[in-house]
Every structure is written in structure tokens, then in C-alpha cells.
Amino acid sequence: MITLNSRIADPGNISPKRGMSLKALPSPSSPVGTTYNQSVNSPTRIERRPANQTLLIDADDTLWENNIYFERAITSFISYLDHRIHTADEVRSHLIRVEHDTIRTHGYGLHSFRRSLAACFEQLSDAPMTDEKHRRIESFAQSIAEQEIELLPNVASTLSELATRHRLILVTKGDHDEQTDKLHRSGLAPHFTAVEVLSEKHHQAYESLVSHHACDSCSTWMIGNSPRSDVNPALSAGLNAIFIPHDFTWVLEHEAVHQPPAGRQLLELASFAELTQHF
């Protein structure tokens, strides 16, 4: 059994919650619904963009709810662990560290989350793991897989309208089968001309995607809730970006939002539906 001291239980910039509001993150300070140009100090309102833009759109917590289900599973896991020494926040913090390490080896997705829960239990519990306990722990992850797809407000109608004027490409990361299954169950697939399920979203991945789909960087926008995976690497790759914060974005996706490079724009919106005002 691992004993958590205060340094481990409060790991620096890592929040004790898997999902936590991004409203506290550093970002350009101005009214929502404005763009940020590298060459100016103050935000400027934008008019609706011309037709035929390429919109790269994230999936989890941008189109549908995702992390809230992980958070519920973690709450059940912590209750089951019922640690006699460590607080719930300390256990959460340790699980975040375990998840970070597991992802390096096994990538994203429920299979990785299952491994993280089991590893966390084995490291913190003073009782040995049994087959029965392992099945119970796996059930927490399985509960996520069994969730119905819950679209965020006005997503379907917004995509339907955007698809009449622009090229939409779904760009998500994680387990390929899991992500494509969620897309199928969501009913949103017909709106997209292509689907990209990446193992990781970094600037090289965006550069490769732009080349593969013959995108014009000047008129290509990455849209999502994650500064770390959607906004910052897209800006780094020379694209425009649209940040739509979600109140329960996974803590491992938290990062200060960068300023756009010269000639590119960053737009922050309060909701997905507002895209039709700009595109």
C-alpha cells in the first residue's frame, strides 16, 4: 500500500478533480465571442466568415458529454475503496497521476481507464486484489460505456446548418472503435466529410491532418474545449482555433490558452450554437 504525503496528494498544478471548470484558467481577458489577433492588443468583433471554411471539430465534451461520466465512475470507485486514511481528494489526485502514467503506455480510452482504476486500487489498498474486486472495479468503467450519448445543447442543429456552408471534419483522440461507435450512436456522422481519430493531438498531428485533407491553413479552424489538445497545438500548427470551454473538462486537458501567431485568430465562445453567428 502506498502512503500519500501532502506533496503527492496535492501534485502541483494538477487539480484533485478529474473534471474541473476551465473558467479559472489563464486566457485572453475580454468578452466571449471575440477574436484575438496576434498583431493587436485589444479584441475585435468579427463578421460571419465566408463560406467554404474547413472546421475541424472535437467530439468529447464539445459535441457530447463525456467527462461527467468518468467523474461519476471515479466517485463510485473512491466510495468502494473507502480508504481509512486518505481523503477522497487525495485518492483522486493519486488516480490522476496513475492515469497520466497509464496513458503514456496504453493511450486513451476505457481500456486505459480500467487499468488506471485497478492500479490505483492495488497501490492504495491494504487488502489484496481479488477476482471479485477486479470485476467490481471494471464495472465502474463499464458504466461509462453503457451511457447513452447526451448531445450538448443545439449541437445537432448547429452542425446541420454549418454543413451547408463549410467542410466539417471530426477530429478526436482516443480508442478508434470507442470514438467511432460514439459518433455512430450520436447520429451526427452525416454532417462530417471525414473522421480522424488520433492517438494524440499535438501540432505535428495537425500539420499531417492539414496536408492529408489539403486544407488551407488560413481558412481552417480547430474547434474544441481543450486548450491542451484542441486550441494550443492547432495554433502552433498555424491554424485558427475556437475555444468553447466546458465546465467539466478533464484536468489533464487543462493548460493556459496561448495567443494566436501572426495572421491567425483565436475565438472564444460560450456555446457551440454561437458558431453559426461567426460561420
Cell digits for 257? 490558452
For residues 131-142, b (16+ Cβ closer than 10 Å) or e, as one string?
eebeeebeebbe
For position 88, what pLDDT does the model report? 87
CA–CA dist 13, 102 (Å, integer): 19
β-pair type (34-37, 265-268): antiparallel
- Which tens digits make up the pLDDT trace of 99-137? 999 999 999 999 999 999 999 999 998 888 899 999 999
* Domains of the chain, earliest start first: 31-64+151-278 (3.40.50.1000), 67-145 (1.10.150)
Between residues 83 and 139, the one the model is more confident about = 139
Confidence bin at 253 (pLDDT 50/70/90):
confident
Confidence bin at 252 (pLDDT 50/70/90):
confident
- pLDDT reading at 25 higher than 60: no
Confidence bin at 36 (pLDDT 50/70/90):
low
For position 72, what pLDDT does the model report? 94
For position 42, what pLDDT does the model report? 37
**Average pLDDT over every residue of 175-180:** 95
For position 126, what pLDDT does the model report? 83
Q: Is the dihedral angle over the CA atoms 220, 195, 18, 32 positive or is it negative?
A: positive
Between residues 40 and 105, the one the model is more confident about = 105
For position 6, what pLDDT does the model report? 26
Confidence bin at 28 (pLDDT 50/70/90):
very low
CA–CA dist 124, 1 (Å, integer): 5
For position 35, what pLDDT does the model report? 55
CA–CA dist 12, 93 (Å, integer): 10
CA distances for 165 relative to 47, 159, 232, 234, angstroms: 15, 10, 26, 22
| pTM over 0.75, yes/no | yes
- pLDDT reading at 250 higher than 90: no
- Which tens digits make up the pLDDT trace of 83-96? 888 888 899 999 99
Three-class secondary structure of residue 161 per DSSP: helix
Question: What letter does residue 44 receive in the DSSP assignment?
Answer: B
- pLDDT reading at 206 higher than 80: yes
